[in-house]
A and B are shown apart, each in its own frame.
Chain A
Amino acid sequence: MNNKLIVNIAISLLLARLKQTVVAAVGVTFSIMMFITLLGFMNGLNDMLDGLILNRTPHVRLYNDIKPEPNQAINRVKELKNTYHFINRIKSSGSRKEIYNSLAIMHAIQQDPRVLGLAPKINAPVFFNDGSIEITGVINGVDVEAENKLFFFNDYVTKGNSADLKTISNSIILGKGLAEKLLANIGDVVSITTSQGERFSLKVVGYFQSGLMDLDKVQSFASINTTQKILGKGNQYITDIQVKLKDIKQAPAIAKEYGQLYGCDAEDIQTANSQFETGSSVRSIISYAVGITLLIVAGFGIYNILNMMIFEKMESIAILKATGFSGKDVKRVFMFIALSIGFFGGLAGLFFGFVLSSVVDNIPFNTAALPTITTFPVNYNLFFYIIGFVFSLITTYFAGYFPSKKAGKVDPVVIIRGK
């Protein structure tokens, strides 16, 4: 009964000052709208930039690095155990870059329940011949299907079809920058020289554009078989195993485990690309900061309007108290007013935030660096909407708290006698 009555009084006061109330609510609406849009846009951007690198980077990469033999001959001399060694007799050996027993390792990793999938890869440095000029480049021998499934390879093939790599023998997809240097169109044949001196002719079936210019100037892709043929290796020859995990956070632990288990080098994504997480979190912090600033400004607006309202309604408050409403009741009336401004303003803000996000989402955004992006990226995470709504309630609560407390403390005697 009491609650219903208080709500009733609050609504009457609200409606009597509808214009002021709407202005206060519009402040909240605007802040929440901007908050949602900003956060959605910023995170859309984050996702896109992360995707640029992280989508195409394996969570764990197994390979054999070129490095000196850790067990130098001098280490075996027991007498010199506690001394510093300057002599490294055994030199780095790059003769076997392939992963030993690759088929068995791949089979074992495939069975691991933590693994989403894997894609084998061969890294083959070659020279592209264009008349008398030789351009250094890399041919990545890839399993097109696995690459598409795990690393969205097809998204970055801007011209031609990635599936042709598998169906057309001796075919190659060139990086956009490389293709421009070579003046190679689709259907043309480019000739390459391997580091062993073998010459090959490959047919261009597509262009690849990653968004990273430097990468596109050297990268090209061929099927695993073609690459093995170019290098003159057997069908077990694999230089990299790219593993994608179900949970990216486990990558460092799993990389360490695989490294020991399979006797090769293992690199995890966090070590390889640590700077990206930093960038993402900084952008998030900025958008939260701006959103909260907007809300605090709106909060001051509500504070002012409630203060004004209480000043105007002094007599009403006095009479309510004289006729038996306690200070707490009066406080609750004004708290209810503040919170309903927050509630409805926030709700409208969520709606308009969604609308504005959709508008941003449809603004064309074409850049040569990002072939897969045609409009501004927006993230519609439900979490932002929940946060926005909770913030609007919290801000209005604090904005309403002090004026309401003041209203609760109004001394009816002073008001009534003062007249």
Chain B
Amino acid sequence: MEEIILQAKGIQKYFHDPVDVPVLKDINFKINKGEFTSVVGKSGCGKSTLLYILSTMDTDYQGELYIDNVLMSGKKEAELAAVRNEKIGFVFQFHYLLYEFTVLRNVMLPGLKLGKYSEKEVEHRAMERLKRLNIDQLALKMANQLSGGEKQRVAIARALINDPDIIMGDEPTGNLDKKNSEIVFDIFNQLTEESNQTMLIVTHDMEFAAKSRRTIVMEDGKIIKQ
């Protein structure tokens, strides 16, 4: 039997302002270890909303969310922060690097927060990840001196620093040109193939979705195909 990393049971969400509008209706699915899953759907179908619930950042929902077979629903803010730190890696549409730090430091931050390794080791691990993404030569540059594609790769390296159970992406290629999009996809693919890294990517780039191993299609807050 395959190992389940993430499981959603009957997740529902309403937007309360100005009137109660359902955005997610009874979402149920599982993601196994090593799966490369894309979530696609039209703009406004609730796919990003779902991702933020799955990422534990949004706690305003009904239903149950399990990550690594631990119930996340109802946990405290600080506990969820620790879960995000250890088990989830994020790649957003915009890179969200901290401009006050160097590239290396940006990648190291979540690792330092985890505190599992010494600063030296974290630095070593960060360098390893930068090398793997072919951007180790940028390590000592400040984050604002990079190009868009480079920044997104740094963000991926940062997502990888703590060996997360799952990497979540919210339109990670949405702001990139075709060439860089392909590079990012190749990186994701390579991570799945070589390291058995679990991926959950929200995208409206159908080409990107088509290349991924599994596709979840959403419409009007419901999963219509998985």
Binding site for B on A (CB under 8 A): 1-2, 5, 9, 12-13, 15-16, 315-316, 318-329, 411-413, 416-417, 419
Contact = CB atoms under 8 A, between A and B. Distances in A.
Contacts of A327: 77-78, 81
A14 B93 CA distance: 28
Contacts of B97: 319
A416 B92 contact: yes
Contacts of A318: 96
B94 A325 contact: no
Contact of A16 (B77, B96, B100): B100
A411 B80 CA distance: 13
A413 B61 CA distance: 14
Interface string B73-102: 000011001111110001011101111110
B138 interface: no
- Kindly list the 7 A-B residue pairs having the minimum CB-CB distance in the complex, ordered from nearest: A324-B85, A326-B81, A319-B96, A326-B78, A1-B115, A16-B100, A12-B100
B57 A419 contact: no
B57 A13 contact: no
B112 interface: yes
B210 to A, nearest CB: 25
B90 A323 contact: yes
Contact of A323 (B48, B85, B99): B85
Contacts of A5: 109, 112-113
Contacts of B113: 2, 5, 323-325, 329
A411 B57 CA distance: 8
B38 interface: no
A342 B61 CA distance: 42
A321 B57 contact: yes
B84 A322 contact: yes
B96 A12 contact: no
B34 interface: no
Nearest to A14: B100
26 contacts: A1-B112, A1-B115, A2-B113, A5-B109, A9-B109, A316-B96, A316-B98, A316-B100, A323-B84, A323-B158, A324-B81, A324-B86, A324-B110, A324-B113, A324-B162, A325-B113, A327-B77, A327-B78, A327-B81, A329-B81, A329-B113, A416-B52, A416-B92, A416-B96, A416-B170, A419-B94
A2 B115 CA distance: 7
A321 B58 CA distance: 12
A12 B101 contact: yes
Contacts of A12: 98, 100-101
